[in-house]
Structure 1
């Protein structure tokens, strides 16, 4: 794998910057109704392409962004993980996000990726506060955040997600 694409490696995953050729795999994940059931809607191909372009721009300008979660065993992209600078309940935060294809739920892969990214954010990127947010009924996503040491800070109405009641979790060093 091209060295400049690699960000992190865990026991089962490679976490790397996206490349243009990843669009089809990413669009299939982001366009899957089960995977995206806690989002306003599954992504269209155009929305997946915009997501990819935002990732390129964030990595170029901020030095971090969202990255491809690649299963070492198969070399296939199974999810999306990483950071965005996002407005969460009126505050701009370092937002750790993770989207794992529903085909891989229940195998602790999301936790593995999120834990590696959290550590990377603090140690390599110099972040002192990292947040995560999810709809209050997205129990698995909340469990991932709590397993990696994040604590529920508050609930708020998320204007970006259908005015859904949303948890904000955070960890600071």
Structure 2
């Protein structure tokens, strides 16, 4: 099911059929270099299942980013309800296959998701978090109008110093 469309992308719900393609992304060391580790096949399967379940329980989750021109899954983007620095937040996350870095696909998809979160999901506050050294992720957050709210030590990611970006309606 397509959730939204941008100039170059379809952002759609994941399905169980995405496991192999998604694992090529989440299991890649370069793509996941800012995460604690690349995902194992079991972690990818769990990630996929958790998000498929979230579609019915929350009405959102992480979705697949598909290039229109090829039909190829190139990333994972969307929302999770997670605790960020001891506060439950609507976390906008984006993971783009390293093969597609530098093409502004993350910005294109994140801007569409931000709008969707506010207009369709009626979220009042959306956050994004990333390690201090993840400059590309920071640029995406800034390009879509989020502002840096603070730095904190992220207990979910190796006790790394992390930026918290946010935007409210």
Give the TM-score band, short-chain normalised: over 0.9
Distance 1:89 1:129 in 2: 15
User: Aligned match of 1:129 in 99, 106, 125?
Assistant: 125
Shift of 1:60: 1.0
Across the aligned residues of Structure 1 and Structure 2, the Cα RMSD in angstroms comes to 0.4
Provide the residue aligned with 1:36 in structure 2.
32
Q: CA deviation at 1:86?
A: 0.5
The reply to whether residue 11 of structure 1 matches residue 7 of structure 2 is yes
Q: Match for 2:145 among 130, 142, 149?
A: 149
For 1:66-90, what per-residue CA distance to the aligned partner results, in whole angstroms no more than 9, with x for missing partners? 0000000110100000000000000
**1:84-137 deviation digits (Å, cap 9, x = unpaired):** 000000000000000000000000000000000000000000001000000000
Match of 2:69 among 69, 73, 80: 73
Which residue of 116, 120, 132 maps to 1:120?
Answer: 116
Q: Which runs of 4+ in 1 moved over 4 A?
A: none
Task: Provide structure 2 residue ranges, at least 5 long, that are not aligned to the other structure.
Answer: none
Find the aligned partners of 1:122 and 1:80 in 2 and give their Cα distance: 19
Cα distance in structure 2, aligned partners of 1:34 and 1:135: 15
Superposition deviation, residue 150 in structure 1:
0.3
How far apart are the structure 1 equivalents of 2:79 and 2:106?
14
Partners of 1:12 and 1:59 lie apart in 2 by 24
What residue in structure 1 maps to residue 50 of structure 2?
54
**TM-score for the superposition, normalised by structure 2:** 0.99
Structure 1: gaps of 5 or more residues: none
Distance 1:20 1:46 in 2: 13
Does 1:167 find its partner at 2:163?
Answer: yes
TM score, norm. by length of structure 1? 0.97
Distance 1:113 1:6 in 2: 13
